[in-house]
Amino acid sequence: MKKITFIGAGSFDFTRELVRDILTYEAFADAHLCLMDISVERLSYIEKACRKIKAAGNYPAVIEATTDRKKALEGADGVIITVLTAGPDIFRTDIEIPGKYGVDICVGDTRGPAGIFRFLRSAPVLLDICRDIEAVCPDAYVLNYTNPMALNCRYLQEMTNLKITGLCHSVQHTAAMLAGWIGADMQDIEYLCAGINHMAFYLEYKWKGEDAYPLIRQAMERKEVWEEELVRNELFRHLDYYPTESSGHNSEYYPWFRKRPDLIEKYCTHSTGWNPGEHAYILKEYFRRQDEWRQDIGKWLEEAEPDLKRGQEYAACIFNALFGDGTPFEFNGNVRNEGYLENLPQGCCVEVPVTADPNGLQVHPVGKLPDQLAVMVNTAARCEELAVKGCIERDRRAIFHSILFDPLTAAVLSMEEIQRMTDEMFEANREYLPQFPKAWHFMVS
């Protein structure tokens, strides 16, 4: 019997879908699935959901729920981390303080001022989890789903010796979207994708062995396709390679889309599921979930038999390759750059092709990013390196520098304004970041 442990199992949608997928594999039909969360209430809901899936599939799996993290990790072959540190009240400051200074943020969970402070709060929690894994099940494979993905993985890969990688579904979801645009079956699509999390690009995208980019350009001439992903389509039009992450996310990573109201109106307001033109959309979604999650989960539990068809998340496929039936599986994982992308910083966290098989995780070197992509991605990766350095060394100045060079922030604010904004964000996070010194910097009266 294989054991897979979920840390942060109260992330209802993720856990429910991943459990469903894991049980579709014959090697895991009788697996021991251990659900761990610090919230007894959330844990009770997800335990009911997993038992419903087990019963619907008539699986012999063992479902266990506990608030004891070390107990949950005992004997684990694989660990999935889906924790959320703090809550909407502190997330509000990530969005609203930059907004007060004119930095308009849509999601704020990846990079820039909001993503960096989210990382600083998450890092000690994630490290505590990984210290328990090192003590209890050091040979387990660890898959991280907690954002900000690149920052969290870079930090944990620096601070631990665990076999850990991070997963983001944007790569496979975007590949399927592009296939739909050109009328292709995903079984006939091949691609090479590389970069950093939420800033990766399809260096190759082929349909039946032929370059499909000309077909994608043709598809974008259709009004409904062009308007479906305005930001991403604009990036592709000018940079020649299609990006993986949604327009809502992408709009806040670059200096071109959110620095003026007219640009927000043109690119961000009308054409994405995130509705990034609405300031701080994600905050409203967080507070909606906080108010309605019990109702949403209760409704799902009362519905008819759940759909047991395997979804598009990759955790189950990876675990099956590593310690299930051994069928190799290729995916894009977040790993330390050990020459895999030659023109990005050595050691930074990159998102590149990885093959999982019974021998472990085999990372595939990509070579160099095209120059125009390397310029942008280098800036983001180096800001992330500064943020990780600042986190490890408790260096407030390094955190400021990591925000100073954020493209959207720098497009809107002066250096002094960025310093003031960073100080204000530190103050708002004082409860969560007591390890950092109080503010000091040279001020001009």
Binding-site sequence positions for substrate: 147
Contact 137, 163 (CB under 8 A): no
Catalytic residue among 169, 173, 270, 364: 169
DSSP 8-state symbol, 139: T
φ/ψ (deg, to 5) at 60: -85, 10
Binding residues for Mn(2+): 168, 198
Which pair of structure tokens corresponds to residue 347? 């050691």
Contact 113, 403 (CB under 8 A): yes
Contact 21, 309 (CB under 8 A): no
Find, among 261, 211, 243, 252, the residue nearest to 373 by Cα: 243
Binding residues: 147, 168, 198
Buried b (16+ CB within 10 A) or exposed e, 63-90: bebbeebeebbeebbbbbbbbebeebeb
Hey, how many other C-beta atoms are within 10 angstroms of the C-beta on 191?
20
Q: Is 41 exposed, middle or buried (0-12, 13-18, 19+ CB in 10 A)?
A: exposed
Q: Parallel, antiparallel, or unpaired: how do β-strands 3-7 and 78-81 relate?
A: parallel
Per the annotation, the verdict on 401 as an active-site residue is no
What is the C-alpha separation between 159 and 130, in angstroms, rounded? 9
Find, among 373, 408, 388, the residue nearest to 199 by Cα: 373
Catalytic site residues? 169
